[in-house]
Structure 1
Amino acid sequence: MAREIQNRQRRHTTDAYTKQIEQQHSAERYVIGCLLLESSAICRVVEILRDDCFADQRLKLVYQAVKDIWRDGQQPDIISVTNRLLQAGDLENAGGAYQISQYASNVGSTTNLEEHAMFIRQCYTSRKLMEAGVTIRSLSMDTSADVGDQVAKAIRIVEDVMNDMDYSNPIRTMAESTDRALAEYEKRERINQEGKPWGLRSGIRILDRYLHGFKPGQLIVVGARPGMGKTSLLLHFAKSIAQANERVAIFSLEMNDVSLANRLLLSCTDIDRNAFKDGCLTPQDRNKLIDASGYLRSLPIHIDETPSLSIQQIKVRSMNLKRKSGLSAIMIDYLQLMNMKSENRNYNREQEIANTTKQLKQLAKELDVPVILLSQMNRNIEQKLQGGKKTTSIPMLSDLRESGAIEQDADVVLLIHRPEYYQDTDAIKGIGLINIAKQRDGCTGKVEFAYSEDMTKIGDSPKNGGDPL
């Protein structure tokens, strides 16, 4: 009985597919007829249809001829198309002069041209999806390959099909764009009236006044030399976002999850760091540690400590997390430790980084979350001097390590500087600077933040209303 049901379903699927092929061939003949009937009709479908969209190879040749004539600045019609095919030696392969004339004769109006073109493109996408399925099946049968790599390749194959579907007209009128801008403002207004912030808060008030929070789709790069507190600042951002019940994923390519948890525990208490490391806390401090542990357990922070992750692996794990439990922000520590091996073996290191930051920006847009990316800075920053004083200059965009593409792809670039670390004569103990070196939709500037001696606690500077750490 079950087999009979399966056979009926298979026959039904086959019949439906056969019917779709027939409809596609009919749509292709209609579109070609329209293009031969009305010389300006090609402008209406050239952004929708590519040559490969035509399943009938004869019609594909005719479509190519129409496009070539149009791109040469001429008016495509039956005579010019027939001559072009004749000169190329493709007239007989396209069905002959009589058949070409029949395409236009069988069309009375071009009114539904776009609808038929869209249907042909959808059928083409279905064929590409079937081909992708065959390729993915072949991948899965390769027992010698790593399963994670197979999944990543399968996702790329499906993504290629999905990206190929973006053929609708992206041009909007000013009226449409204004309506969208007004709708977005009204959304911000509604969120504000509910007492909620627009954008995810960093936990440093002066920084939030500049950035208005981390927004979905943004790539935020945090750059610094080693020892400046990149990871500490990242954890402070994560804790602040999670405190608003927003889920955060941290991909730590350098430190393990226990090390990060230790830092977060110390950030929530005033216990002695050395006593904590040596395992000799007082009973009172031990109780504080347990209380802090209970608090941190409730925060929606996820840590992945896998070393040398690729962008595809980060993407897969982020997508799975968002699907299962939601996701509000992705944090990566740090760029230079990522596996950037590209399918293009001719890429040098700078091109690999450029390709990676481009994909991270795409990831932010696709998942509609901010991606906060830590990055190393060039060593020569430590050699800069100002006025002969024992100091270093504040880092700039040009100090980002290995690639100018980092600053190009980033929506926001934050560069950390601690004058105290370099024994700057003007340094204030426990006060660092964040240089907002780039903000795509806002102003730049320098803001202060406070930090504890062991860099476990980050907060507002006293000048900006912060309490001593």
Structure 2
Amino acid sequence: MNKNTETFYNANIERGILSALVYDAQLIDMIEEEITSELFYIPFHKKVYETICNLQENDKPVSEEFIIVDLKKINSFDEEVFLEILSATPISNINGYIKELRELYARRELHHLSLNIKLEVAKQNSSDDIISNIESSLLSITHERKQQNFFCLNEIFNDVNKHIELMQSKKDSLIGIDTGFTALNAYTSGFNSGDLIILAARPSMGKTSLAINMMLQTSSFGNGVALLSLEMPKDQIALRMLSVVSGIPLATIRGGKMTIEQQKEIANIQKKLTNLSIHIDDSPNLTLQKIKSKVKKLILKNPDTKLVIIDYLQLIDSNSTKDRHLQISEISRGLKLLARELGISVMALSQLNRSLEGRADKRPMLSDLRESGAIEQDADLIMFIYREDVYKKQEEKQKESELRKKGIDFQSNFKEDLISRAELIIGKQRNGPIGTIELEFVKPNTSFREKNQPQTKVFEFQLA
């Protein structure tokens, strides 16, 4: 081993920790959550630590004899190095040794990373790929350094009291970020940090439209919002945003049929919207790992980001060869862990099973969540969109088609209302009640608003 390598590990530190564990097995339970075998540099030391942990887990004595037997079983015993461990100087502060072990591991990984960067550059790989690999490696090192242990009630109550004081100082009852809908805020107290939120519906019900509404409203209150759209291109999302805020029909904006006054209004709204902390990524074929990497990078640059919206859950790719429902289970769990790790709200849009359309009452239920019951388990808040007029329109079209096939001249007199009734059904809430909120869907703008909202525009812009 050269001198440069030796600066990134300390054999005495490693021996001291292992020796302490051999002579005092009670220490294992205290430190097992603090370190892994990867933190050890010397290969034999890794094996010894793994063997000690296995013996403890299987309720076997952690003694010199048992360690030797198990190491010999896997042809990994080195008598000389093992004697060095046993003869190591006793240590009184194992936590100090662990801290140093972790520090050396981090330095070692950073050194390896710097060498890999040189190799990647020498291979003339693209700078984007190199930067992405660097960021992923740094995130991995950072994660390894983070540890979470038990907290005593005194510490927990201190945090609780700070929260109570904060709530008492606020003018409203919101705990989380404002959803933009008064009735929804009343049910949920806002979207809470660390929560996984599921917004589910059958096609054409308006999942993306409601998500865009919430994105605009939430960001207008000063919160950063990220939208990862795996289905709709960013320019289409931008057109919808302009229609929602202006009240000008989407078809008018998209078709370029605006009046001079409308064009001026759109230009003014664009200036206002650019002041909001909204970031959109319309990359297709994203995996959970890519989503996590993108979100973490975004938050490093934009720490005001409080809500991440993913449209939609079933489009997230997986490198796994497992059945799709198991893949979705892993994805939903991963999104929940991402929300907790970063202290943000993650909203994932989701499809529902087609089978619900065979029922007389087509209002969604938790059992209708598509491909995985794990979504129901992982989510803190599950909301469904139901619009009866969508089914009425489908039924009338089907009736008209069937009668015409029989030679009967039938013209449906069904007329779509420009503003129709919508229900936002709270099917699950971990920390609050369930129920139904009545909204209105404004078709020309593909937008939702509070029932009987008095203003003429569907979105009351909050910024001056």
TM bin, normalised by shorter chain, reads 0.7 to 0.9
Report what 1:94 is aligned to. Answer: 79
- TM-score with structure 1 length normalisation? 0.78
Shift of 1:418: 0.5
Instruction: Trace 1:307-326 onto structure 2 (pairs within 5 A).
Output: 307-326=284-303
Cα distance change on mapping 1:38 and 1:365 into 2, 3 Å:
closer
Over residues 163-198 of structure 1, what are the superposed CA-to-partner deviations in whole Å (9 max), with x where a residue is unaligned?
Answer: 3334x46222233323332223333334x15x6943
Cα distance change on mapping 1:208 and 1:140 into 2, 3 Å:
farther
Q: Does 1:407 align with 2:393?
A: no
Report what 1:182 is aligned to. Answer: 161
Find the partner of 2:104 among 123, 127, 145: 123
What is the identity, as a one-letter code, of the residue corresponding to 1:116? Y
Distance in structure 2 (CA, Å) of the matches to 1:216 and 1:254? 26
Instruction: Trace 1:38-49 onto structure 2 (pairs within 5 A).
Output: 38=24, 40-49=26-35
Shift of 1:150: 5.5
Give the count of matched residue pairs: 433
Cα distance change on mapping 1:448 and 1:26 into 2, 3 Å:
same
Conserved 8 A contact 2:422-2:439 = yes
Cα distance change on mapping 1:183 and 1:267 into 2, 3 Å:
same
Shift of 1:241: 0.8
What is the identity, as a one-letter code, of the residue corresponding to 2:150? I
Shift of 1:458: 1.7
Over residues 292-332 of structure 1, what are the superposed CA-to-partner deviations in whole Å (9 max), with x where a residue is unaligned?
Answer: 44443433323333333333443444334333344222222
Instruction: Trace 1:58-457 onto structure 2 (pairs within 5 A).
Output: 63=49, 67=53, 70-71=56-57, 73=59, 76=62, 80=65, 84=69, 93-95=78-80, 102-103=87-88, 106-107=89-90, 111-135=92-116, 138=119, 143=124, 151-166=131-146, 168=147, 170-190=149-169, 192-193=170-171, 197-271=174-248, 274-326=251-303, 327-338=305-316, 340-342=317-319, 344=320, 346-385=321-360, 392-423=361-392, 430-457=420-447
Cα distance change on mapping 1:275 and 1:45 into 2, 3 Å:
closer
Conserved 8 A contact 1:152-1:312 = no
Distance in structure 1 (CA, Å) of the matches to 2:82 and 2:349? 64
Distance in structure 1 (CA, Å) of the matches to 2:270 and 2:28? 66
Conserved 8 A contact 1:35-1:77 = no
Conserved 8 A contact 1:28-1:54 = yes
Q: Determine helix, strand or coil for the equivalent of 1:352.
A: helix
Distance in structure 2 (CA, Å) of the matches to 1:354 and 1:86? 37
Cα distance change on mapping 1:413 and 1:17 into 2, 3 Å:
same
Over residues 63-120 of structure 1, what are the superposed CA-to-partner deviations in whole Å (9 max), with x where a residue is unaligned?
Answer: 5665565556465456x468747976989823289766634xx43xx53123223323
What is the identity, as a one-letter code, of the residue corresponding to 1:402? E
What is the identity, as a one-letter code, of the residue corresponding to 1:329? L
Over residues 9-44 of structure 1, what are the superposed CA-to-partner deviations in whole Å (9 max), with x where a residue is unaligned?
Answer: xxxxx97974664xx222233334434544544444
Q: Determine helix, strand or coil for the equivalent of 2:246.
A: coil
- Name which of structure 1's ranges 241-250 and 112-121 shifts more when overlaid on structure 2: 112-121
Conserved 8 A contact 2:44-2:76 = no
Distance in structure 2 (CA, Å) of the matches to 1:274 and 1:337? 27
Distance in structure 2 (CA, Å) of the matches to 1:199 and 1:306? 29
- TM-score with structure 2 length normalisation? 0.78
Conserved 8 A contact 2:8-2:108 = no
Q: Determine helix, strand or coil for the equivalent of 2:443.
A: coil
| Larger relative contact order (Cα-Cα within 8 Å, sequence gap ≥ 6) | 2
- Name which of structure 1's ranges 117-126 and 56-65 shifts more when overlaid on structure 2: 56-65
What is the identity, as a one-letter code, of the residue corresponding to 1:337? L
Distance in structure 1 (CA, Å) of the matches to 2:67 and 2:269? 80
Distance in structure 1 (CA, Å) of the matches to 2:85 and 2:245? 78
Cα distance change on mapping 1:220 and 1:138 into 2, 3 Å:
farther
What is the identity, as a one-letter code, of the residue corresponding to 2:166? K
Over residues 348-401 of structure 1, what are the superposed CA-to-partner deviations in whole Å (9 max), with x where a residue is unaligned?
Answer: 32233223223322332333221222122122222211xxxxxx4210122122
Conserved 8 A contact 1:59-1:94 = no
Q: Determine helix, strand or coil for the equivalent of 1:306.
A: coil
Report what 2:411 is aligned to. Answer: none
Over residues 393-432 of structure 1, what are the superposed CA-to-partner deviations in whole Å (9 max), with x where a residue is unaligned?
Answer: 210122122222322322211110011222299x996221
